[in-house]
Amino acid sequence: MYHKLFFIFIILLLSPVATICTTDGKKESGHFYTVTKVVDGDTFWVDDGSVKGLKIRLIGVDAPESRNTGRKEMAYYGKEASVYLSWLIGGKKVRFEYDVDRFDQYDRTLAYVYLENGIFVNANLVKNGYAMVMTVPPNVKYADTFLKLARKARNRKRGLWGE
């Protein structure tokens, strides 16, 4: 009996899809994924083992558009935001934390993203002026944090708030 329980415990512990509960009960991925492509300053792809990969949209932030698309035009500081995110996470391993909604209307996975060294990517972009705060309820877990960081970035003239 104890051998079976021990075996089940080891399997769960080593499982790549294991999840960890945060203090507020939301789940976060205990698995790290390699970033394969940065689309722009707030969207990227990771290798999740599928053929296509998994498209991630950062929760709570909005980076300026880095290129012209059918619906939107390239915006001031868009290229810089995209280059910065590529430098920050390109080819690196990240883990996810989720809020209430797991997907957006474009079927992108919505996530708060952390590097292996603990850097909170969403907050880092706002803090350094590469993204603005974009709160879309019900995903508001870090809205207050992002607003404080945005005020500091604006006051310090960082990134898109510079001259």
Mean pLDDT of 57-80: 76
Sign of CA dihedral 62, 47, 67, 119: positive
Domain assignment present for 87 = yes
Tally of CA atoms within 13 A in the half-sphere of 137 that contains its CB: 0
The answer as to whether 52 is a domain residue is yes
Q: Is residue 114 part of a domain?
A: yes
DSSP state of 31: S
The distance between the two most distant Cα atoms of the chain, rounded to a whole number of Å, is: 68
Would the pTM count as exceeding 0.95?
no
The conformation of residue 139, written as its DSSP 8-state character, comes to B
Cβ atoms 109, 133 nearer than 8 A: no
Q: Is residue 1 part of a domain?
A: no
Q: Do strands 27-29 and 61-62 pair parallel, antiparallel, or not at all (unpaired)?
A: unpaired
Q: Which domain holds residue 94?
A: 20-156
Give the domain CATH number at 34.
2.40.50.90
The answer as to whether 14 is a domain residue is no
Q: How many domains does the chain have?
A: 1
Q: Is residue 98 part of a domain?
A: yes
CA 25 centroid distance within chain: 19
136 occurs within a structural domain: yes
Task: Give pLDDT tens digits for 36-62.
Answer: 999 999 999 999 999 999 999 999 999
3 assigned to some structural domain: no
Residues recognised as catalytic: 57, 65, 108
* More confident position, 49 or 74: 49
pLDDT, tens digit, 9 for 90 and up, residues 1-32: 444 433 333 333 333 333 333 334 445 568 99
DSSP string, 65-113: PSS--SS----TTHHHHHHHHHHHHTT-EEEEE--S-SB-TT-PEEEEE
Instruction: Please give the structure tokens belonging to residue 153.
Output: 């970035």
pLDDT at 13: 36
